[in-house]
Chain A
Amino acid sequence: MRMEAAGRRATSSSFEIAGRRWNSRLIVGTGGFRSLDVTERAIAAAGAEIVTVALRRVDVAAPGSLVEMLERAGSFLLPNTAGCFTAHDAVLTARMAREAFGTHWVKLEVIGDDRTLFPDAVELLEAAETLVEDGFVVLPYTNDDPILARRLEEVGCAAVMPLGAPIGSGMGIRNPYNMAIIVEQANVPVICDAGVGTASDAAFAMELGCDGVLMASAIARAKDPVKMAQAMRGAVESGRLAFEAGRIPRRRHAQASTPEVGLPEYG
């Protein structure tokens, strides 16, 4: 953390993924927005550098304008493999994304079922291993399982992205203890991916020591997405600052903040 001169505003530290430095710890997904215009303004308000996109058949895909807008905005495109249920499909989708967007970075999603959208741990690990061997920078969306997170790191993933709660649920960080264990043991960045509902959820994830937060629905489906994006930017920044500042321990009884020395005694 940088030391700031008195009176200057402190900023939280930057961080690295796969040797590349990022100033914003808020990663924004483009899914769920009402329009391209709102997407663009929300990304700007969020101050996000990394932005996720999906791949679909061109007959339904946005006609070129999504990528053009993101490139105009200077966003770093992070393709995802959303909608894949097997390692085979996810690997193929990642390779398609590499061709389409000219990037070897991928947000790896291998989903177990439609109702929970929880990752399929077995398929996820297999896909991660294959893609790492193929030269990809793999950022896996994973369960909040410390063992799986460790296994993903061991096969060479550049970060781990445990869910706070199911995608789009807005339930916040449902298992902060697991998240804290994942953070504690990880040697790669930990990005809280999915589950954030409002600003305090994002701040909480950062206070737990996550290196970043990835969200789509919480911004895109808010009543005012641009305003929420700004709220999330502040929350992620504040949460990180609080983590770096080091919170006071919790205690069951009071501890006076005013010293007792020099107290008068009124007979």
Chain B
Amino acid sequence: MRIVVNGSDREVPSRLTVAELVRELGAGGANGRGVAVAVEAQVVPHSQWDGVALSEGQRVEVLGAFQGG
């Protein structure tokens, strides 16, 4: 299926979970520490990453730490 990750189209296996996507992106430290995910502008808490499966066309934002004042 096709989803939109950080503004770019991405082909991923259907029913991919948030946890699997974060692993695939290699984002953050162990257990996705330092990373936050929103699906369709809704924050997905870490505790739900394994349980939330993505579906076709969804917009996902995966954010991490960046230098900032």
Contacts and interface: CB of A to CB of B under 8 A. Distances in A.
Interface of A: 29-33, 39, 52-62, 64, 66-68, 80, 82, 92, 95-101, 167, 194, 214-217
A101 B43 contact: no
B6 A67 contact: no
| B-side interface size class | 20 to 34
B69 interface: yes
A53 B35 CA distance: 13
B65 A61 contact: yes
B63 interface: yes
A110 to B, nearest CB: 15
A95 B43 contact: yes
A56 B38 contact: no
Interface in B43-69: 43-46, 61-69
Nearest to A27: B69
Nearest to A57: B6
B67 A33 contact: yes
Contacts of A101: 34, 65
Given A58-B64, A95-B43, 14 more contacts: A54-B65, A54-B66, A56-B64, A57-B61, A57-B64, A61-B63, A62-B64, A64-B65, A82-B68, A82-B69, A92-B41, A97-B36, A100-B28, A167-B69
B27 interface: yes
Contacts, number: 107
B18 to A, nearest CB: 11
A33 B36 CA distance: 24
Contacts of A64: 28-29, 34, 64-65
Given A58-B27, A99-B46, A39 B6 contact: no
Residue among A32, A58, A99, A101 with the highest chain B CB neighbour number at 10 A: A58
Q: Give the top 5 A-B pairs by smallest Cβ distance, nearest first.
A: A54-B68, A29-B69, A216-B69, A61-B64, A100-B36
A59 B61 CA distance: 11
A69 to B, nearest CB: 10
Contact of A62 (B45, B46, B66): B66
Given A54-B68, A56-B66, A61-B66, A92 B34 contact: no
Contacts of A31: 67-69
A67 to B, nearest CB: 4
A66 B25 CA distance: 18
Given A58-B25, A64-B29, A95-B43, A100 B63 contact: yes
A55 B66 contact: yes
Contact of B68 (A30, A67, A99): A30
A53 B36 CA distance: 14
Contact of B63 (A52, A67, A96, A214): A96
Nearest to B7: A57
B28 A58 contact: yes
